[in-house]
Amino acid sequence: MEPIELTDRLGRWSAGRGPLYVLLAGRLRTLIEDGELPPSTPLPPDRVLAKALAVGRSTVVAAYDLLGAEGRVVRRQGSGTRVAGPGPAARPDTTHSPAFLQLLEPESGVIALACAAPQHPPPEVADAYRRILPRLASIDDDIGYHPNGHLVLRKAIADRYRARGVPTTPEQILVTGGGQQALSLIARAFLRPGDRVLVEAPTYPGALEAFRESAAVLEGRPIGLGKVSPAALAYVVATYQNPTGAVLSGLSRQVLVESAAAAGVPLVDDEVLADLGFPGSDPAPPPLAAHDDAVVTLGSLSKIVWGGLRIGWVRAPVAVIARLARLRAVHDLGGNVPAQLAAAELVSGLDVLRDRIVRQRKECHDLLVSELAALLPEWDVPRVGGGQTLWVRLPYGDGASFAQRALRHGTAILPGTGLDPTGGSTSHVRISFVASQADLRAAAHRLAEAWRAYDPPARPTSGAPPLAV
């Protein structure tokens, strides 16, 4: 393709916010995805395109390299840069998170402690479906498409927020296909290529994936974010933080909310783990939305009930909900109605179910911590008051190379680097305790065996471990 023709197609590519190479890559990505740059189309050489765009060559090189890492272009010395050809091998990867890859490519014989999720639905799920059968049988004036979510479930969720001291109407609730879809919708609504997002370091890897998919620039902050500076979005897990289990104090929450408001930065409070406080722990403070109704709050039944139910939600101002609903309608006209009706039954009686679930989680937490203390006394394994993961500091080596070794011994865990956008947390691993007690005991012994066989590399290993080694 001639530089002049490509320049015309790029249009006002540099008009957004963020580094020029990110903006250029974002516009090229759109042209590729829309088919305006078909597979195998040759792209201008670095220097030639840089001259046509009046930018430095390094900007074009960085943009091409970014698209190359995504699999959207192929760069070969001597033959230039081309749009990736058709076929499965040329399609871009959509996730590099081992937590997601564990779901996509499960390994037999591996104890899966990288993805923290209940292994089976509680009996209350089947009971809820049985109770809604008469309602399903009597439906005769509902086409079944509810982009905002079924009103019955939205009312139940709003009632639950009001009971927690956060006045909420059903119009402030959008039901989603789990918390991950909620994050993806928020990323699409608030972010453009090059936008800056404030996140905790470390944090939930699924959020990092959603924000990176929008080509955002991630800025890692301490747990709780501290003082918010200008950005397109700020994301925090204020209650039983993933992966550390930390809980932001009431005063820190107020300061955070006021700081975000003063900077004009939309604040997202991920409360997916908020119901997972252990018996005997201090009650968690109210959601951030109790301090400011403008806070965007995420919730889900995936961690407290079962991931297979695929019910999540967003609580936000009505204007934000309307915007998110329009985005959702493009990709998904509405969620599963029977699942939403069953979820409404579950939400209405969630406290009873939660009390039993968190007792079981505490037992699993205590067992795994005890086993690791006995088998690996040199590890730093802090206890947590809730949540579903341990944030373990290794005494030497690095989390990425040890996670590879652990996988060879039949246990999947997450290296800290994949949860930290700053590139830090290299000495940490995240280990879920959401598993059967038998699996947790076996995993602890496998990890001990892996540690005895561990020979750390001279330099820390970057990136995530492969699923099969």
Position 281 pLDDT exceeds 70: yes
Say which residue, 312 or 87, is predicted with more confidence.
312
Alpha carbon 159 to its chain centroid, in Å, reads 26
What type of residue sits at position 277?
A: G
* pLDDT given at position 97: 59
Q: Across all residues in the chain, what is the average pLDDT?
A: 90
Mean pLDDT on 367-384: 98
Instruction: Give residue-wise pLDDT tens across range 39-61.
Output: 889 999 999 999 989 889 988 98
3-state secondary structure the chain: CCHHHHHHHHCCHHHCCCCHHHHHHHHHHHHHHCCCCCCCCEECCHHHHHHHHCCCHHHHHHHHHHHHHHCCEEEECCCEEEECCCCHHHCCCCCCCHHHHHHHCCCCCCEECCCCCCCCCCHHHHHHHHHHHHHHHCCCCCCCCCCCCCHHHHHHHHHHHHHCCCCCCHHHEEEECCHHHHHHHHHHHHCCCCCEEEEECCCCHHHHHHHHHCCCEEEEECCCCCCCCCCCEEEECCCCCCCCCCCCCHHHHHHHHHHHHHHCCCEEEECCCCCCECCCCCCCCCCHHHCCCCCEEEEECCCCCCHHHCCEEEECCHHHHHHHHHHHHHHCCCCCHHHHHHHHHHHHCHHHHHHHHHHHHHHHHHHHHHHHHHHCCCCECCCCCECCEEEEECCCCCHHHHHHHHHHCCEECEEHHHHCCCCCCCCEEEEECCCCHHHHHHHHHHHHHHHHHCCCCCCCCCCCCCCCC
Domains, the chain, ordered by start: 3-83 (1.10.10.10), 98-120+353-453 (3.90.1150.10), 123-349 (3.40.640.10)
Position 37 pLDDT exceeds 70: yes
Q: Residue 125 forms beta bridges with which residues?
A: none
Instruction: Give residue-wise pLDDT tens across range 189-240.
Output: 999 878 899 999 999 999 999 998 888 889 999 999 999 999 999 999 999 9
pLDDT band for position 163 (50/70/90)?
very high
Instruction: Give residue-wise pLDDT tens across range 416-461.
Output: 999 999 889 999 999 999 999 999 999 999 999 999 999 887 655 5
Instruction: Give residue-wise pLDDT tens across range 1-35.
Output: 677 788 888 888 887 777 888 889 888 988 888 78
Give which of 216, 94, 203 is closest to 422, Cα–Cα: 203
Instruction: Give residue-wise pLDDT tens across range 108-139.
Output: 789 999 988 898 999 999 999 999 999 999 99
* Percent of the chain surpassing pLDDT 70: 93
* pLDDT given at position 457: 79
